[in-house]
A and B are shown apart, each in its own frame.
Chain A
Amino acid sequence: MTSFAQFGNDLYTGKRSIDFIGLRRRWYALSAIGLLLAALGLGVRHLNLGLEFTGGSEFRVSTTSVPANYEQVASDTLSKVAPGHEAGVTKLGSDTIRLQTEKLSDAQSNDVRDALATAFNTPQEKVSANFIGPSWGQSVSKQALKALIVFLVLVSLVMAIYFRTWKMSVAALVALIHDMVFTVGIYALTGVEVSPATMIGFLTVLGYSLYDNVVVFDKVRENTQEAFANRRMSYERAANLAVNQTLVRSINTTVVALLPIAAVLVIAFTKLGPGTLLDLALALFIGMAVGAYSSIFIATPLLVTMRSREDDVVKLAKQAARAETKAATRAAVPAGSTAPAAPIQPYAGAPTTATALADDPADDVRDAATGQAPAGGTITGRQVHKYAQQGPRNQPRRQPKSKR
Chain B
Amino acid sequence: MARASTRPTRGRPDGAVRTLVTFFVMVAALAAVLGGAVWKSTAQWTPKLGLDLEGGTQLVLKPRLVGDQTATSQQVAQARDIIAERVDSQGVSGAEVTTQGADNIVVSMAGDPTRQQEDSLRRSSALQFRPVLTVAAGTPAPTPTSTSTGSSTSTGTSTSTSTATSTAPKTGANAGTGTSTGTASSNERKAATTGSSTTSTSASSTDKSTSSASGSATSSATPSGTPTSATDQAWVTPGLTTQFDALDCSKDGVLDTIIDDPAKPLVTCSTDKTAKYILGPVAVGGADITDAQAGYRLAQNGQPTNVVEIQLSLDSKATKTYGDLSIEMLNLPSPRNQLASVLDSSVIIAPQFNEPITNGQASITGGFTFQEAQELAKQLKFGSLPISFDLQTRTQISPTLGEEQLRLGILAGLVGLVLVVLYSLFQYRALGLVTVASIVIAALLTYLTIAILGWAQNYRLDMAGVTGLIVAIGVTADSFIVYFERIRDEVRDGRTLRTAVDTGWKRAKRTIVVADGVNFLGALVLYLLASSSVRGFAFTLGLTTLIDILVVFVFTHPVVSLLARRKFFADGHKLSGLDPERLGAKVRYAGRGRISAPRRAAAEGGQA
A204 within 8 A of B: yes
| CB–CB B413/A260 < 8 A | yes
Contact code string A127-146 (vs B, CB < 8 Å = 1, else 0): 00011111111011001101
CB nearest to A151 among chain B residues: B525
Contact code string B129-140 (vs A, CB < 8 Å = 1, else 0): 000000000000
Which A residues are in CB contact (< 8 Å) with B412?
Answer: 260, 263-264, 266-268, 277
Asked, given contacts A151-B522, A256-B478, A401-B593, whether A12 binds B515 with beta carbons under 8 Å apart, the answer is: no
Interface residues of B in 562-608 (CB under 8 A from A): 582-584, 586-589, 592-595, 605
| CB–CB A249/B481 < 8 A | yes
Stretch at the interface among B39-47, B219-227, B402-410: B402-410
Within 8 Å by CB of A200, from B84, B96, B534, lies B534
Asked, given contacts A9-B583, A222-B507, A272-B405, whether A356 binds B595 with beta carbons under 8 Å apart, the answer is: yes
| CB–CB B474/A272 < 8 A | no
CB distance from B35 to the nearest CB of A (A): 29
Bound Cα distance from A215 to B478, whole angstroms: 10
| CB–CB A88/B474 < 8 A | no
A275 within 8 A of B: yes
Stretch at the interface among A33-41, A91-99, A108-116: A91-99
Within 8 Å by CB of A256, from B80, B424, B514, lies B424
| CB–CB B525/A147 < 8 A | yes
CB distance from B304 to the nearest CB of A (A): 35
CB nearest to B470 among chain A residues: A260
The tally of CB-CB contacts under 8 A between chains A and B is: 281
CB distance from A25 to the nearest CB of B (A): 29
CB distance from A165 to the nearest CB of B (A): 14
Within 8 Å by CB of B405, from A203, A222, A252, A276, lies A276
| CB–CB B529/A150 < 8 A | yes
| CB–CB B80/A133 < 8 A | yes
Stretch at the interface among B97-105, B253-261, B273-281, B375-383: B97-105
Within 8 Å by CB of A401, from B470, B474, B510, B592, lies B592
Which A residues are in CB contact (< 8 Å) with B593?
Answer: 353, 357, 400-402
Which A residues are in CB contact (< 8 Å) with B478?
Answer: 211, 215, 253, 256-257
Stretch at the interface among A153-161, A322-330, A382-390: A153-161
CB nearest to A157 among chain B residues: B521
A393 within 8 A of B: no
| CB–CB A137/B589 < 8 A | no
Which A residues are in CB contact (< 8 Å) with B397?
Answer: 90-93, 98
CB nearest to B608 among chain A residues: A352
Within 8 Å by CB of B408, from A137, A151, A159, A268, lies A268
| CB–CB B463/A277 < 8 A | yes
| CB–CB B594/A352 < 8 A | no
Which A residues are in CB contact (< 8 Å) with B415?
Answer: 260, 263, 267
Tally of chain B residues near chain A (CB < 8 A): 90
CB distance from B419 to the nearest CB of A (A): 4
CB distance from B475 to the nearest CB of A (A): 6
Asked, given contacts A257-B475, A268-B408, whether A263 binds B413 with beta carbons under 8 Å apart, the answer is: yes
Which B residues are in CB contact (< 8 Å) with A276?
Answer: 52, 401, 405, 463-464
Which A residues are in CB contact (< 8 Å) with B536?
Answer: 200
Q: Which secondary structure characterizes the binding site on chain B?
A: helix
CB distance from B205 to the nearest CB of A (A): 51
| CB–CB B97/A96 < 8 A | no
Stretch at the interface among B185-193, B384-392, B484-492: B484-492
Which A residues are in CB contact (< 8 Å) with B98?
Answer: 55, 132-135
| CB–CB A162/B427 < 8 A | no
CB distance from A94 to the nearest CB of B (A): 8
Bound Cα distance from A365 to B409, whole angstroms: 67
Which A residues are in CB contact (< 8 Å) with B519?
Answer: 207, 210-211
Asked, given contacts A222-B507, A272-B405, whether A200 binds B533 with beta carbons under 8 Å apart, the answer is: yes
Bound Cα distance from A356 to B494, whole angstroms: 13
Which B residues are in CB contact (< 8 Å) with A196?
Answer: 464, 532-533
Contact code string A335-357 (vs B, CB < 8 Å = 1, else 0): 00000000000000000110111
Bound Cα distance from A13 to B493, whole angstroms: 9
CB nearest to A94 among chain B residues: B396
CB distance from B541 to the nearest CB of A (A): 6
CB distance from B395 to the nearest CB of A (A): 4
CB distance from B518 to the nearest CB of A (A): 5
Asked, given contacts A8-B488, A92-B58, A402-B594, whether A259 binds B419 with beta carbons under 8 Å apart, the answer is: yes
Bound Cα distance from A385 to B123, whole angstroms: 98
Bound Cα distance from A10 to B84, whole angstroms: 56
| CB–CB B398/A248 < 8 A | no
Asked, given contacts A257-B475, A259-B423, A263-B419, whether A150 binds B525 with beta carbons under 8 Å apart, the answer is: yes
Which B residues are in CB contact (< 8 Å) with A206?
Answer: 522
Within 8 Å by CB of B420, from A4, A151, A248, A260, lies A260
Bound Cα distance from A261 to B415, whole angstroms: 10
Asked, given contacts A147-B534, A264-B416, A284-B467, whether A257 binds B525 with beta carbons under 8 Å apart, the answer is: no
| CB–CB A263/B416 < 8 A | yes
Which B residues are in CB contact (< 8 Å) with A211?
Answer: 475, 478, 515-516, 518-519
Contact code string A281-296 (vs B, CB < 8 Å = 1, else 0): 1001000100000000
Interface residues of A in 224-260 (CB under 8 A from B): 245-246, 248-249, 252-253, 255-260
Which A residues are in CB contact (< 8 Å) with B401?
Answer: 275-277
| CB–CB A203/B525 < 8 A | no
B537 within 8 A of A: yes
CB distance from A395 to the nearest CB of B (A): 13
CB distance from A173 to the nearest CB of B (A): 12
CB nearest to B427 among chain A residues: A252
CB distance from A241 to the nearest CB of B (A): 12
CB distance from A267 to the nearest CB of B (A): 4
| CB–CB A143/B471 < 8 A | no
A-side residues, CB < 8 A to B, are 1-2, 4-6, 8-10, 12-13, 52, 55, 58, 88-94, 96, 98, 130-137, 139-140, 143-144, 146-148, 150-151, 154-155, 158-159, 162, 196-197, 199-201, 203-204, 206-208, 210-211, 214-215, 218-219, 222, 245-246, 248-249, 252-253, 255-264, 266-268, 271-272, 275-277, 280-281, 284, 288, 352-353, 355-357, 400-402
